[in-house]
Amino acid sequence: MKKNFVIAVWFTLVTTLMFGVLYPLAVTGLAQIFFPRQAKGQLIERNGKIVGSRIIGQSFTGPGYFHSRPSNAGTGYDATSSSGSNLGPTNKILLDRVKTDVERARAENGSTSVPVDLVTASGSGLDPDISPAAAEFQVSRVARARKMSEAELRALVQRFTEGRRFGFLGEPRVNVLELNLALDSAHPFSQR
């Protein structure tokens, strides 16, 4: 019995060391060597200052910016509180929030058909991307606010539209942070 106990203790210690210390260190080290940008969270810097991450959404609310998907993560886009709302499709709280978001989107953008991803949160609440349809829906508002042509803005949106990965995985998407940063660089916006 004592021999089995000693073997069990040693096995626990060895596997804890292997899979709790050595394996995570090896994977982290390899990630830092082969994928340094991804391992550091794909942070985006402007003028020596970190402005966000390519893989975590941010809230943009001004009329001169493309708006992201709604977020249920903490107080909004809080990576430490990543989660969806867990509200079912018939839940009154969810239906009221979506109805309010649809009305606001219609009022801001002057259209009746609102893309679903502008009024529904992703499962993580941190989705950095919107659909090309959601970007197109916002073009008129952003162009008006920045006093630029819609054609010029559509060309910028097209430049930042990513296709399906490997040609067949996922859906086409537009990274909102990258698009808004490019918009600020190409056509600065001042709220008056």
According to the model, what pLDDT value does residue 139 have? 93
130-148 pLDDT per residue, tens: 999 999 999 999 999 999 9
Helices 92-109 and 132-146: angle between axes, nearest 10 degrees: 50
Quote the Cα angle for 132-103-54, to 5°.
35
CB contact at 8 A, 150 and 139: yes
Helices 150-159 and 132-146: angle between axes, nearest 10 degrees: 140
Read off the tokens for 140: 């008129």
85-100 pLDDT per residue, tens: 778 889 898 899 889 9
Q: Which of 13-22, 102-111, 173-182 has the lowest mean pLDDT?
A: 102-111
Q: 139-177 as b/e, with b when 16 or more CB fall inside 10 Å?
A: bebbbeebebeeeebeebbeebbeeeeeeeeeeebbbbb
Query: What Å distances lie between residue 121 and 14, 69, 127, 130, CA to CA?
Result: 43, 6, 8, 11
| CA neighbor of 52 nearest in space, from 60, 41, 43 | 43
The answer on pLDDT for 169 being more than 50 is yes
Quote the pTM value.
Answer: 0.77
What is the pLDDT averaged over residues 30-41? 85
The answer on pLDDT for 9 being more than 70 is yes
According to the model, what pLDDT value does residue 187 have? 80
According to the model, what pLDDT value does residue 137 have? 94
CB contact at 8 A, 164 and 171: yes
The overall average pLDDT reported for the chain is 88
According to the model, what pLDDT value does residue 191 have? 53
40-87 pLDDT per residue, tens: 778 888 888 888 888 888 888 888 999 998 887 777 777 777 776 778
| Helical (H) or strand (E) element with 174 | strand 173-175
